[in-house]
Amino acid sequence: MRAQLSAVAFLVVVSLVVVGCGGSKTGSSTTNSSNATSTNTASQTSTTKPASNDTPVTEHMIAKADLICAKLSTELDRDHISSEADIARVIPHRVALETVALNSLSKLTPPSSIASDYGSMLATRSKLIAQLREINAAVAAKNKKTVQSVLAASTIIARRMAATAQHDGFHHCGELG
């Protein structure tokens, strides 16, 4: 849950910094993306281990993946954002770290009991990385409307990824910093 809150907190901070800083050439936009971002995350599914004959293999693979994700989380926690300038500095760093982690996670072979969910998690993580790039470009262009829209979409799919990860027994891999 801490990891999931970390991702949501990052998105909230980016949203607040962007909304609170500078003007936009596209006009003002007051959407509920920051409200959507801070929506209660307690509605996620409860943690259950996949039931199958390959439980030791599954647990071993999950442990390997969680180690990669825990290391990523530690690195991401070092970045702090309090201004638009910080966004321009932090997001490319986060994209690089996320990409390295995604490449490492992609090298793991999940057992059949979680292969579909794991593939979905990796695809979602890849999409979220692309959205971080989109947010960074929108911040550079001072396009608050795009930032808010992408943040709202990112929050929704990050929560889905977190729910899938939690359902399959992952502790750290449901987050995107």
Looking at the domain assignment, is residue 175 inside a domain? no
Task: State yes or no: pLDDT of 30 exceeds 50.
Answer: no
pLDDT of residue 50: 45
pLDDT of residue 80: 83
Looking at the domain assignment, is residue 174 inside a domain? no
Looking at the domain assignment, is residue 177 inside a domain? no
Look up the domain containing 64 and give its range.
2-168
Q: Place 11 in a pLDDT band, splitting at 50, 70 and 90.
A: low
Looking at the domain assignment, is residue 77 inside a domain? yes
Looking at the domain assignment, is residue 36 inside a domain? yes
Looking at the domain assignment, is residue 21 inside a domain? yes
* Best mean pLDDT range from 46-50, 81-85, 93-97: 93-97
CA–CA dist 105, 57 (Å, integer) = 16
- Decide if 135 contacts 150 (C-beta within 8 A): yes
Number of domains in the chain: 1
pLDDT in tens, 136-163: 999 889 999 999 999 999 999 999 999 9
